[in-house]
Structure 1
Amino acid sequence: MKQTHQKFLAELQQFIPEERLITDPLRTLAYGTDASFYRLIPQIVVRTESEQEVARIVTLADKTQVPVTFRAAGTSLSGQAITDSVLIQLGDGWKGYHINNDATEISLQPGVIGGQANSYLAPFNKKIGPDPASINAAMIGGIAANNASGMCCGTAQNSYRTLKSMKLVLADGAQLDTGSPDSIKQFRQSHKPLLDALEALSLQTRANQALHERIHHKYRLKNTTGYALNSLVDYTDPIDILQHLMIGSEGTLGFMSEITYRTVDEHPNKASALIFFNTVRTTCDAVAILKKTPVSAVELMDRAGLRSVEDKPGMPDFIKDLPEDAAALLVETRSPDPDALAKQVEEIKASIANLETARPIEFTNKPEEYAKFWAIRKGLFPAVGAIRLTGTTVIIEDVAFPVEQLADAVNDLHQLFKKWHYDEALIFGHALEGNLHFVFTQAFDTQAEIERYDGLMADVAHMVVGTYDGSLKAEHGTGRNMAPFVELEWGKDAYQLMWELKELLDPKNILNPGVLLNKNSHVHLENLKPLPAADPLVDKCIECGFCEPTCPSRALTLTPRQRIVIWREIARLEAASDTPNADPERLAELRQEYKYQGTDTCAACGLCSTTCPVGINTGDLTRSIRSQNNEKHSKLAQWLADHYGTLAKASRFTFAAADVTHGLIGTKAMSAITGASRKLSGGRIQQWTPSMPTGAPKIKPKPAAQLSQTASNAPKVVYLPSCASRTMGPARGDADQTPLADKTEALLRKAGFEVIYPPDMDNLCCGMPFQSKGMFAAADSKSSEIEKVLLKITENGALPVYSDTSPCSLLLKDKIDSRIKLYDTVDFIDEFLMDRLLFTAGNEPVALHITCSATRMGQAEKLKRIMSACSTQVVIPDQITCCGFAGDKGFSTPELNASALRTLKGAVQSCDVGYSTSRTCEIGLSHHSGIDYKSIIYLVDRCTQSKLTDAPSTEENNRIQANKA
């Protein structure tokens, strides 16, 4: 570490806790990576929790002249969120929000994810204006700092246009709240020279007619190149000028600690159409016409883009037969009421009726149908990522042209792709605003490849600016990527004005230097990120960060993106081990640190795959690494698999013995003894908590003679209790001490089912305990064993199988014979029990945890529907994804569970009980929430009565059997 940074760190240690100051090689690399194709490694990463901390850090940076860079989610694409100095990262303290009485305004701290902000506004039929494609990962800080827009946002609803007020920290540490008259008054006194200078620059700009007109001309399109010079002509009050300058400034002028947006309407009625044209020119002619109609989005896809997805499941066959110059538009219209929506659809269709289309125009207002259209559009970027060669990156550029010249611009781009041999490049974008994205793959491993990229970008820049006077960056921000071209786009006077603003607000150049403005004409070709082959399981990763909000270890150690970053670095160092560039010491250190940071604290829940554009499950990498590390234990694993009944019996005994001890010595003594034992053993002894289950009694299937309540023609179901359900009873303090298996059987019988258990249940296991540790052979042997048993007892799939634990259900659905109709708890209740039981919803608030496996099985909406039938107040904590218990991780690595659920207690304080679909998850949920969590079976049983007063009729039985088939 540089001496200046050592001194800076020593100063930071005076007011920032040590655990939030990060300097080790592994985490500085991991945390310093963003979604761009650039790499700089910070000397220090600081996790901040308050505006006061940021102000002190910035003041210190100003005093020592140590540069700092602010980071929110790091989904930015142009290299604006990286540094080789000090990275200021947002901690948990930045997720606050406030909605005013009529929801016309929302105040958001910079750590709130855009999609979460919209979920807070959804009950009011409102949303924030900006709608970037990354909205479910991007944070408000980055959305505002880049003036991100999106598919429906246009230029009217971006951060600049919908800004009401903000709180900010300037380079000298000064704080300003533009929504507070008192703060403004104080700031006018303390920073009069700054405000006077801004006012003077505004007056000079207005007086310079050519520059004034240039600014208006540039913002007729989407434009995020350079600073928001329109603030100097749109506003006269220097406070207004200052806050609007912050929008799109990429952290180079100050830090936005809160932003208040004016919200926009989110109309509930929508209709979409995917319209195909035989030529690009006709497609672009349609865009110009549609701009005058009530459309909310018009997305263009060129022939290369359509070709990239034409073989995807569900795509119509005719797409393959479209001509080479074909293109498509995805058109959406929205309205507050259905009748108006129908009229809008007719108006839109009539407007382009005279244009030749490849297929008839058909709109749909069915969410499940138009969601498929949008999936096609959103699949274009990952389609390129999925086919790229290992070692290459995916680059998405972002330009804008006048709509009336769109066809010519698309043609010119295609010609440039041919000239520079980017044969896979495709174009899509927000055509309504003339905003096009083009995507291509790029290697940076040779000088020739770097020069090819440089040639393309130079030609693109001169074409966009020289031919069309368009925008080089419409919505992705300038960053390092386009900094050398800002003067080319804006001209000398405007460029000089931008430098004046930078020097006025950041005279010592400590805020994100080199970003947005940079006098190095080659900065866009420097510090390029290596993407070496690491493992086929993750080599397609484009490091976008979309996975991060779902990861349970994101606040403890690493996220999926960061795990891949480090594994790639390990692979790179290993490949260089026999070269002059070898660094064995760094390699050894990363390997050692990765064991805990990467492998031990990964829940391997797979939630990352649900938001990854290319479907990567980083948990697969973790299990693969564990498999290599545990190879020497494979024989033991197989022995345990072969003697699983003995293991289950031992587990049941252990839980029972722990409960007896707990009862004898009490919670306080039990916690102290087990905590000390765990500490002395170096963590080898498992964690005990008061929420630990008791031992479950052995399941004893009832003889047929005792099933008097079950009619002779009742539908049958095979009930497969998981090993967790068979060994873990309710916790000592639970109000209902009925074991889950007994409760489940009673509920199924209440619904009129005859319950059948598989033989020799204690020996059965889905294989999850082995699979999660990378012991694949043992896992496969158990899933194969259970498959044989189920095929026999279900008569080759004639009977349905009920599985009571969602992680086990997910694994079995992937592993066993497709003839076996296996239903998880949620699916079985939704499909079979909702109609056979009479539900009475209670009024007390109840908490719901949607497990990672339930999410991956697509059960979220079903779960909500079931819970809503049981309670009028269902609380779903918005920042909880996977609970991090991960089978036995809650025992062996309890800090993972604690970190994943760190916000749970506050979120469910209005509830007395919570529900889920996994017994192990419920242990951690109960412990960290302070309320009892149990299977939703308990709730459904409590709030239902049977509709079946007699034995099921033949018709009813036939319906059940048909559903099973």
Structure 2
Amino acid sequence: MNDAFHHFAQGLAPFIADERIISDPLRTLAFGTDASFYRLIPKLVVTVINEQEVQKVLELAHKYKVHLTFRAAGTSLSGQAVTDGVLVRLGNGWNKAAVLNNGAQLQVEPGVIGARANQLLAPFARKIGPDPASINTCKIGGIIANNASGMCCGTAQNSYQTLASMRLILADGTVLDTADEASKNAFRQSHASLLQQLADLRTQVLATPALHERIVKKFRIKNTTGYSLNALVDFSDPIDIMQHLLVGSEGTLGFVSQVIYHTVEEHAYKASALLLFANIEQTSKAVTALSSAPVAAVELIDRAGLRCVEDKPGMPDYLRTLDEQAAALLVEVRAGSDAELQQRLSETTAALQAFDTLQPKTFTTDKNTCQLYWNIRKGLFPAVGAVRAKGTTVIIEDIAFPVENLAPAVLELQALFKKYHYDEAIIFGHALAGNLHFVFTQNFTDPAEVQRYADFMDEVCVLVVGRYDGSLKAEHGTGRNMAPFVEMEWGGQAYELMWAIKQAFDPAGLLNPDVILTRNLRTHIENLKPIPEADDLIDRCIECGFCEPVCPSRNLTLTPRQRIVIMRELKRQERDGKNPAYKTLLDDYQYQGIDTCAADGLCSMACPVGINTGDLSRKLRHERNQKHAGKAQWVAEHFAGVSKTSRGALQLMDITRDLVGDGVISTMAKGVNILTLGATPLWHDAMPTAADKLNPCEYGVNELTQVVYFPSCASRTMGPGAKEDDQRSLMQVTLDLAQKAGVHLAMLPDQDQHCCGMPLESKGHFEQADAMRAALNAALLQASDNGRLPVLIDTSPCVFRLQQQLDERIQLLDPIRFANRFLVPNLDIRPTHEPVAVHVTCSTTKQGLGEELIALARQCSTQVVVPADITCCGFAGDKGFMLPELNASALAPLKAQVEHCVEGISTSRTCEIGLSRHGEIPYHSLFYLLDRLS
């Protein structure tokens, strides 16, 4: 880090906490990646949480002449969210949102994920206009900065068109709120020169008919190449021009700290059809016909794309029989009522009447079938990424043509694929907007391969611009990828207009240089990201970042994407020769990458290619913990004794707590933790008491038994928190509740000897963990009379672990399924009006039971709270005891959302400990709530 960046970092220190200023090699490398195929390693990563910090960063950037880049979620595909300067990322202070005017508008900050914005609007049957494919991950800041659109957004509902107002921070640190008259009036006084420059640029455009017409024409189709020059045509007030220029400016003109959107209708009635045509020409003509029909989306998929998904589960058999020239349209029609939907379907069918299809033109309203069709479409990008050769990058490009030119353009694009031997390339896209995506794989380690890519892209640009005057970037943003070609698309006059805009907003050129505009015509083939082989578990990763919002360590150490980035670099250095920094990188990865990974597996559900980074962490733990294999074997063989010792330790702590209080115990535990180098747990007032000892022999299997009950080892060991009103153990509550519902439970006489093996598996002791699971499997099979009786396990994580290798005869019941099948039908539940919080554990999510748990809670309370932005709690077995900072970070947003609740429910005893501590309300099993209210 040179002197300028060093002084910059020193200047930040009085204003921004040390933990939010990152300069170490491991984490700067981790943040050097976004979803694009570029890598630039920042000198510093600064996490900002409010406007004042952004202003200070900008002030210091000017003082020390350092360049900076703003990042929201890092799902950008064109290289606009990476830098070798200062990366300024959004912290947790940017997550506020408010629904206005009964849903007609949404006021939202840049850190809010797009899908969360739509969740807030759902009760009003509204949504934001932009609908990018990354909406479950990308944030409002990125959606605005890239003018992202999507499948149904078109050109009429993007951020530019639905913007009501904006709160922004200019490069000089000035804050302007365009919804506030006082702010605007003050800005007109302080920045009269800037506003005059914008007014003059508008006058210049209006006085140049050819330029004016060019701008109007370019934005008739989707276009995110260069700046939003249409602002100079569409608006006369310089402040309106300014805020619309910020849309799609990719952080090169300023920082957007808040927007108010005009929302759009979210139709309740939908129908979809997958229409197959003999060739691309017929397909494209059908698109033209549909452009005047009342359709919400028309997605084109070429034959290569269909081939990528034809063998996926649930795909229609007829896809495999299609001719090589075939293509498809996925059409969706939406309406506010069933009658309106039928009318629109009638008009759409009439528009298609002149076209022959390979299968009947059948629209369906069946949700499962519609979901199947859209899974075909959404599976295209990851399908290519999943089967690419190791060491290659998957690239998705984004162009647009006038709709009438779609057919010849697709054919010429396919010809280019053949010419440059991109045989795996596929084409799909938002056909109504003339917007095509094409996906192919590329090796960037060989200079000849880089040149092949450069030559191919040169010809693509000639095709798009020279042949059809289309858009080189329709919705993914210009970034670094198309910056060298902006002048080619727009022409010299418009290009210089863009440079004038950049100069007016950022005269020092410090905001995201070489993005959108560049004088370096090789920007698109420099700083290309290496994708070296690392491990079969993660080699398919395309570094899209979709995994990050669900990761409990995302605000503490690394995300799954970042763990993979570092692992790839470590493996590369191992092969190529370890440099002096290798050992430091490896040592730092132990805590950052391995120890603080909760290994909950939620990342695999968000990942488009199904990668579970937790499997990698467990594998690495396995490799590094082999020296402790003997101890693990002893634990597996003496588990009853281990459980007894654990319960005894908790009983001792209960006595000590009664004598000296939680505060003294906490201080003592902290000292012991330090002396043992973190090998002993820390203590807090939400720690569990010891569970009451029950005699399982009193609950033997007999002719009345309906369900075999196996309490998890956590339930057998840990009782409720000391401050809980109900001091019964979960075992006792389960037995009492079942008796109340008239359900006869039986228990294993030797249950203390058994465990599903999860504690050992999480530490990488796979063989010992699997042996424990196998022993429990055998015991349950015998107790259940070879599966005749269902088996209840009272915590979801253990159920999920057992299901991975369960004897197919055993009917295993999660607490949620047991409640719905055996308890609720036999109980008189009297709902409370007090608010109850619900935590859906990661294992519950992976079993697809989250909505069932929430529905059960709603039968018990008229006010159910499901906190936003809480996925895995980060307790992760015993990590909540040994690494409490992971649990604290994952649950940081919890307290503010549940402070008005009287209690919380979940289905994991260990998770409930951390939830109680950080939510500051008692969390316990669902069974406690059901028992109290029935």
Q: How does 1:22-41 map to 2 (within 5 A)?
A: 22-41=22-41
Cα pair distance change 1:571/1:704, threshold 3 Å: closer
Alignment match, 1:949: none
Q: In structure 2, the residue corresponding to 1:227 is in which secondary structure? A: coil
Alignment match, 1:918: 908
Alignment match, 2:809: 819
Give the counterpart letter for 1:659 in structure 2.
Answer: D
Measure, in 1, the Cα distance between the counterparts of 2:569 and 2:421. Answer: 30
Measure, in 1, the Cα distance between the counterparts of 2:591 and 2:696. Answer: 43
Give the counterpart letter for 1:433 in structure 2.
Answer: A
| Residues 846, 871 of structure 1: 8 Å contact kept | yes
Residues 635-680 of structure 1, C-alpha deviations (whole Å, 9 max, x = no match): 1101110110100111111111111111111122222222233234
Q: Which of 866, 870, 876 is equivalent to 1:880? A: 870
State percent identity of aligned pairs. Answer: 56
- TM-superposed CA distance for 1:827, in Å, is 2.2
Alignment match, 1:415: 415
Q: How does 1:411-810 map to 2 (within 5 A)?
A: 411-577=411-577, 582-583=578-579, 585-701=580-696, 703=698, 716-810=706-800
- 1:943 is aligned to 2:933: yes
Residues 841-890 of structure 1, C-alpha deviations (whole Å, 9 max, x = no match): 22110000001111111111111111111111110110111000000000
Q: How does 1:224-239 map to 2 (within 5 A)?
A: 224-239=224-239
Q: Which of 895, 903, 928 is equivalent to 2:918? A: 928
| Residues 800, 847 of structure 2: 8 Å contact kept | yes
Q: Which of 885, 898, 904 is equivalent to 1:895? A: 885
Q: In structure 1, the residue corresponding to 2:220 is in which secondary structure? A: coil
Alignment match, 1:837: 827
| Residues 666, 682 of structure 2: 8 Å contact kept | no
Residues 738-780 of structure 1, C-alpha deviations (whole Å, 9 max, x = no match): 2111211222333332212123100110010011000001111
| Residues 228, 247 of structure 1: 8 Å contact kept | yes
| Residues 37, 79 of structure 1: 8 Å contact kept | yes
TM-score when scaled to structure 2?
0.98
Residues 767-821 of structure 1, C-alpha deviations (whole Å, 9 max, x = no match): 1001100000111100111111122222322221111111111111112222212
Alignment match, 1:130: 130
Alignment match, 1:363: 363
| Residues 715, 752 of structure 1: 8 Å contact kept | no
Give the counterpart letter for 2:848 in structure 1.
Answer: G
- TM-superposed CA distance for 1:910, in Å, is 1.1
- TM-superposed CA distance for 1:835, in Å, is 3.1
- TM-superposed CA distance for 1:128, in Å, is 0.7
| Residues 686, 914 of structure 2: 8 Å contact kept | yes
- 1:853 is aligned to 2:848: no
Give the counterpart letter for 1:268 in structure 2.
Answer: A
Q: In structure 2, the residue corresponding to 1:795 is in which secondary structure? A: coil
Measure, in 1, the Cα distance between the counterparts of 2:240 and 2:451. Answer: 43
Farther-moved stretch of structure 1 (616-625 vs 747-756): 747-756
Measure, in 1, the Cα distance between the counterparts of 2:897 and 2:746. Answer: 40
Cα pair distance change 1:595/1:485, threshold 3 Å: same
Alignment match, 1:350: 350
Alignment match, 2:269: 269
- TM-superposed CA distance for 1:611, in Å, is 0.4
Give the counterpart letter for 2:335 in structure 1.
Answer: S
Farther-moved stretch of structure 1 (792-801 vs 239-248): 792-801
Unmatched tracts of structure 2, length 5 or more: none
Measure, in 2, the Cα distance between the counterparts of 1:198 and 1:898. Answer: 48
Measure, in 2, the Cα distance between the counterparts of 1:747 and 1:100. Answer: 45
Measure, in 2, the Cα distance between the counterparts of 1:402 and 1:489. Answer: 14
| Residues 696, 749 of structure 2: 8 Å contact kept | no
Alignment match, 2:67: 67
Cα pair distance change 1:507/1:703, threshold 3 Å: closer
Alignment match, 1:6: 6
Measure, in 2, the Cα distance between the counterparts of 1:259 and 1:224. Answer: 19
Q: In structure 2, the residue corresponding to 1:718 is in which secondary structure? A: strand
Cα pair distance change 1:704/1:645, threshold 3 Å: closer
Give the counterpart letter for 1:263 in structure 2.
Answer: T
Measure, in 2, the Cα distance between the counterparts of 1:785 and 1:294. Answer: 61
Measure, in 2, the Cα distance between the counterparts of 1:715 and 1:696. Answer: 24
Farther-moved stretch of structure 1 (603-612 vs 863-872): 863-872
Give the counterpart letter for 1:647 in structure 2.
Answer: V
Q: How does 1:133-212 map to 2 (within 5 A)?
A: 133-212=133-212
- TM-superposed CA distance for 1:339, in Å, is 2.2
Q: In structure 2, the residue corresponding to 1:165 is in which secondary structure? A: strand
| Residues 883, 901 of structure 1: 8 Å contact kept | yes
Off by >4 Å, runs of 4+ in structure 1: 702-705
- TM-superposed CA distance for 1:412, in Å, is 1.1
Residues 539-582 of structure 1, C-alpha deviations (whole Å, 9 max, x = no match): 111110000000000110000001111111111111111xxxx4
Measure, in 1, the Cα distance between the counterparts of 2:787 and 2:283. Answer: 51
- 1:120 is aligned to 2:110: no
Give the counterpart letter for 1:853 in structure 2.
Answer: S
Q: In structure 2, the residue corresponding to 1:868 is in which secondary structure? A: helix
Give the counterpart letter for 1:58 in structure 2.
Answer: L
Residues 494-521 of structure 1, C-alpha deviations (whole Å, 9 max, x = no match): 1111011111111110000011111111
Q: In structure 1, the residue corresponding to 2:597 is in which secondary structure? A: coil
- TM-superposed CA distance for 1:701, in Å, is 3.2
Farther-moved stretch of structure 1 (587-596 vs 290-299): 290-299
Q: How does 1:859-878 map to 2 (within 5 A)?
A: 859-878=849-868
- TM-superposed CA distance for 1:201, in Å, is 0.5
- TM-superposed CA distance for 1:832, in Å, is 4.1
Measure, in 2, the Cα distance between the counterparts of 1:113 and 1:354. Answer: 43
| Residues 697, 747 of structure 2: 8 Å contact kept | no
- 1:259 is aligned to 2:259: yes
Measure, in 2, the Cα distance between the counterparts of 1:21 and 1:704. Answer: 58
Give the counterpart letter for 1:596 in structure 2.
Answer: Y
| Residues 384, 440 of structure 1: 8 Å contact kept | yes
Measure, in 1, the Cα distance between the counterparts of 2:747 and 2:98. Answer: 52
- TM-superposed CA distance for 1:363, in Å, is 2.1
Measure, in 2, the Cα distance between the counterparts of 1:244 and 1:703. Answer: 73
- TM-superposed CA distance for 1:347, in Å, is 2.5
- TM-superposed CA distance for 1:687, in Å, is 1.2
Give the counterpart letter for 1:909 in structure 2.
Answer: E
Alignment match, 2:328: 328
TM-score when scaled to structure 1?
0.95
Give the counterpart letter for 1:587 in structure 2.
Answer: Y
- TM-superposed CA distance for 1:702, in Å, is 6.1
Alignment match, 1:956: none
Give the counterpart letter for 2:761 in structure 1.
Answer: Q
Alignment match, 1:372: 372
Give the counterpart letter for 2:244 in structure 1.
Answer: H
Measure, in 2, the Cα distance between the counterparts of 1:63 and 1:827. Answer: 62
RMSD between aligned residues: 1.4
Alignment match, 1:110: 110
Q: In structure 2, the residue corresponding to 1:102 is in which secondary structure? A: helix
Unmatched tracts of structure 1, length 5 or more: 945-965
Give the counterpart letter for 1:313 in structure 2.
Answer: P
Alignment match, 1:959: none
- TM-superposed CA distance for 1:283, in Å, is 1.5
